Amino acid sequence: MSNIDNVVNFIKKTPKSELHLHIEGSLEPELMFKLSKRNKIEIPFKSVEEIKSAYNFSNLDSFLKIYYEGSNVLITEEDFFDLTWEYILRCKKDNIVHTEIFFDPQSHTTRGIDFNVVISGIYKALTKANSEFGITSKIIMCFLRHLDEELCFDVLKYAINHKDKIIGVGLDSSEKGNPPKKFKRLFEEAIKEGFLTVAHAGEEGPPEYIWDSLNLLKVKRIDHGVQCLKDEKLVEKLKEKNIPLTVCPLSNIKLCVFDKLENHNLKKMLDKGLRVMVNSDDPAYFGGYLNTNLIETSKALNLNLEEVKILIRNSFKSSFLDENSKNNWLNKI
């Protein structure tokens, strides 16, 4: 068997965790179409094929426009349940045993959808995932960084009522021009309330946004972070503090952060000893779930079995699981 066949087999059969997945980004065109009919919500597409052919993006903002439009079909608790359950079935297929999912409440509450409807649908599906398949999960609530900090305080209040379900808060949406410092007070308050913090930084934005996420937002993980290699001092800091970087290779290609997968800097990050792992981000939009991300990236960057093992182990190590559960999975890889 060739080296790459070995790697592919290993990826498929090994238990894995995923730490960077927007649940709204797992909305497959088929379900989007079904929900648009069920809820009588107009979408600007006539067929599933038309939806799929609209998925050509030139940067993050061009994707976000379509992503928020797609989310408009999500109305009822059942819709959020169905969305999450479909992702869980993908987890089962890909042998993902633990997942930490983002949700964007403000893209729903601003349309008049009750926060409780959103969180209940997601949570019920995750509870079922645990009882039927043993899949464990955590929920991270993201603030939309293109909105004002003041508006984000409102949604933090909702999250406080659901501390039993939400482990942390994150920051996503349009990065350039919306620096972490805009949300310093909000994150201070979230930390006071006991939430862990993470933030998208250095996806398209400069290394300075990664520095500020660490220093001002006190994040436990950086989401993406691929721009860090532009700043040697930052790389040293990330290594010294063992900060996880939740890299999403297929996302970076679809959003033109790198021109092709062969030119992605994941291997360079690995070689520098950074704590990186692979994730799918918005798999319904970017052409693949976790196994596809791992397999395509391994092929394009010629990763060997040892490097793939490091990526998968890094994911468990960087998760918000308790130490016992982490060690339990790490011993199996």
22 touching ligand ADE, by CB under 6 A: yes
Measured between alpha carbons, how far is 80 from 244 in angstroms, rounded to an integer? 29
Q: Burial, 66: exposed, middle or buried (Cβ in 10 Å; 0-12, 13-18, 19+)?
A: middle
Kindly state the smallest distance separating residue 323's Cβ from Zn ion, in Å. 26
Q: Whose CB is nearest to ligand ADE? A: 172
Single residue of 98, 138, 200, 275 touching ligand ADE by CB under 6 A: 200
24 touching Zn ion, by CB under 5 A: no
Single residue of 14, 18, 25, 214 touching ligand ADE by CB under 6 A: 25
Q: Which is nearer to Zn ion, 104 or 281 (CB)?
A: 281
Which of ligand ADE, Zn ion, none does residue 60 bind (CB under 5 to 8 Å by kind)?
ligand ADE
Structural contact between residues 118 and 157, judged by C-beta atoms closer than 8 angstroms: no
Kindly state the smallest distance separating residue 172's Cβ from ligand ADE, in Å. 3
Q: How many chain residues touch Zn ion (CB under 5 A)?
A: 1
Q: Which is nearer to ligand ADE, 224 or 313 (CB)?
A: 224
- Give residue for tokens 């793939």: 308
Single residue of 82, 94, 281, 296 touching Zn ion by CB under 5 A: 281
Structural contact between residues 101 and 90, judged by C-beta atoms closer than 8 angstroms: no
Kindly state the smallest distance separating residue 93's Cβ from ligand ADE, in Å. 22
Single residue of 72, 251, 279, 315 touching ligand ADE by CB under 6 A: 251
Kindly state the smallest distance separating residue 4's Cβ from ligand ADE, in Å. 28
Q: Which is nearer to Zn ion, 176 or 332 (CB)?
A: 176
Q: Whose CB is nearest to Zn ion? A: 281
**Alpha helices of the chain — where are they, by DSSP H?**
3-13, 29-38, 48-53, 60-71, 77-94, 106-109, 115-133, 149-160, 184-192, 207-215, 232-240, 249-254, 266-271, 283-286, 290-301, 305-318, 323-330
Measured between alpha carbons, how far is 233 from 229 in angstroms, rounded to an integer? 9
Q: How many chain residues touch ligand ADE (CB under 6 A)?
A: 11
- Catalytic residue numbers? 203
281 touching ligand ADE, by CB under 6 A: yes
Q: DSSP letter string over 293-333?
A: HHHHHHHHHT--HHHHHHHHHHHHHHSSS-HHHHHHHHTT-
User: Which residues, 6 or more positions from 313, have their beta carbon under 8 angstroms from its beta carbon?
Assistant: 330, 333
Q: Contact positions toward Zn ion, by CB under 5 A?
A: 281
Q: Contact positions toward ligand ADE, by CB under 6 A?
A: 22, 25, 60, 67, 172-173, 200, 203, 251, 281-282
